[in-house]
Amino acid sequence: MIYELRRYTMRPGRRDTLISLFEREFIEAQEATGMRVTGSFREAGEPDTFPWLRAFPDMPSRRASLEAFYGGPVWLTHRDEANATMIDSDDVLLLHPVGPEPPSWERPPVGAGEPPPSLYVATIYHVEDGFAGFFAREVAPALAEAGVPPVACLETEHAENTYPRLPVRTGENVFVWFARFDTPEEEREVELPMLKSRLTAAPVRLRLRPTARSAMR
């Protein structure tokens, strides 16, 4: 599978406008082209961002699905409304799974009310090649012992972006792992001293509250 972790910068106060439009119009329209909208989130403490995750079977199908959706009637009808809510949509990591893939539940229908109480934390490491094996051997067991097992692990997909209309971040090598907590009150960080010599930049933590129709719940 190929994943995109997308993090939009919103115009102040417009995030919920986009989420409402996204959940009403864009989820089924994207999935009808063969992609999977895996998760959509409000980022805790960052009211003007909209992170979300989508998946494709492979790079050729990614191109075909993106061409079908962004050239199709739903996007063409609603793109101006969507684009009016955003300042930037180019913060995109192209990734593939290593180890477990992101979890998924049955998606609630259009018009679903309250979002689930859970919290996901996506931790982004900038790393050298070969980090995934080190993480599996040394980091994942320590996290599991501390009660924070990774529920998904992804790393940079270096294939050429064959749909350049939508840019992705290049020149980076990242490893992303997700933890899930039933409620934000259960969130905790784990000290991982073995990482100190392995990271090429400071880690980034995204604290993600699923939206009402997120498949990651």
Tens digits of residue pLDDT in 22-37: 999 999 999 999 999 9
Q: Are residues 89 and 165 in contact, defined by beta-carbon separation less than 8 angstroms? A: no
Residue 144 lies in a domain: yes
Residue 184 lies in a domain: yes
Q: Could you tell me the maximum CA-CA distance found in the chain, to the nearest angstrom?
A: 51
Dihedral over alpha carbons 176, 180, 183, 187 (to 10 degrees): -60
Residue 154 lies in a domain: yes
pLDDT score at 54? 98
Residue 95 lies in a domain: yes
76: domain CATH number is 3.30.70.100
pLDDT score at 112? 84
Residue 215 lies in a domain: no
Residue 52 lies in a domain: yes
Residue 61 lies in a domain: yes
Q: Are residues 189 and 195 in contact, defined by beta-carbon separation less than 8 angstroms? A: no
pLDDT score at 169? 97
The encoded tokens of residue 214 equal 């997120």
- All residue ranges of the chain with pLDDT < 70 are none
Q: How many domains does the chain have?
A: 1
Residue 217 lies in a domain: no
pLDDT score at 113? 83
Query: Can you give the residue range of the structural domain that contains 131?
Result: 2-210
